Chains A and B, each alone.
Chain A
Amino acid sequence: SYELTQPPSVSVSPGQTATITCSGEELPNKYAYWYQQKPGQAPLLVIQKDTERRPGIPERFSGSSSGTSVTLTITAVQAEDEADYHCQSADSRDVWVFGGGTKLTVL
């Protein structure tokens, strides 16, 4: 079955840039989406269609795509950005799939 691969964890200091990657062989053909999930809360959609930031999401969040990978970038990371980040896309049959999630730690 189709899989999206994310690093389990990423750590950055406040003010630095965090990059979280998501790789999958169908990503050149299917959009990817990014969700932020803080402890005890439901996920929140932050990036849609690879690069579009959702309304109300700070400008420091951005998405990019290159080949079989997509990347969530958070510039000038703040303590409040500490969360789990999940990518989501679909396979060739349009079956939805999530990556395993990445825990972002702000040191």
Chain B
Amino acid sequence: EVHLVESGGDLVQPGGSLRLSCAASGFNFSRFWMSWVRQAPGKGLEWVANIKPDGSEQTYGDSVKGRVIISRDNARNSVHLQMSSLRVEDTAVYYCARVGDGCLSSWGQGALVTVSS
């Protein structure tokens, strides 16, 4: 069974940085694209970033491009999201998800990031 567990969510001040992690289990991690998606309180879903199985290619949503970096460690079955220059509007639950054929086939339970002074 696919299992994704996010960690690292926290309260951070505007302009600050934060690193989210996602531990994966139950599948051959190194063979799958992985993704981060976020959801602001009471709002819809917003795609944040994807990373190729070998980590050689990353794609980003327009609203976060230049401020976040997605990376992965296939030896540790983990994917990370390094966020910097955080804004109040980055406040959201951040979900880690496994990519499957153009969509997100399995999701973690999410990590809450709150950006506030």
Query: When chains A and B are docked, how far (Å) is the Cα of A88 from the Cα of B62?
Result: 16
A1: chain B residues at CB < 8 Å are 62
| Interface footprint category on A | 20 to 34
Measured CB to CB, the closest approach of chain B to A51, in angstroms, equals 13
Task: Indicate whether B44 reaches chain A with its CB closer than 8 angstroms.
Answer: yes
- Contact between A95 and B59 (Cβ–Cβ < 8 Å)? yes
Given known pairs A98-B44, A98-B46, the reply for A43 and B107 (CB within 8 Å) is: yes
Instruction: For the complex, count residues of B whose C-beta is within 8 A of A.
Output: 22
23 pairs from A and B in contact (CB 8 Å cutoff): A1-B62, A31-B103, A33-B103, A33-B104, A35-B104, A37-B45, A42-B95, A42-B110, A43-B104, A45-B103, A45-B104, A48-B100, A48-B101, A48-B102, A86-B44, A88-B45, A88-B104, A95-B47, A96-B35, A96-B50, A96-B61, A99-B44, A101-B44
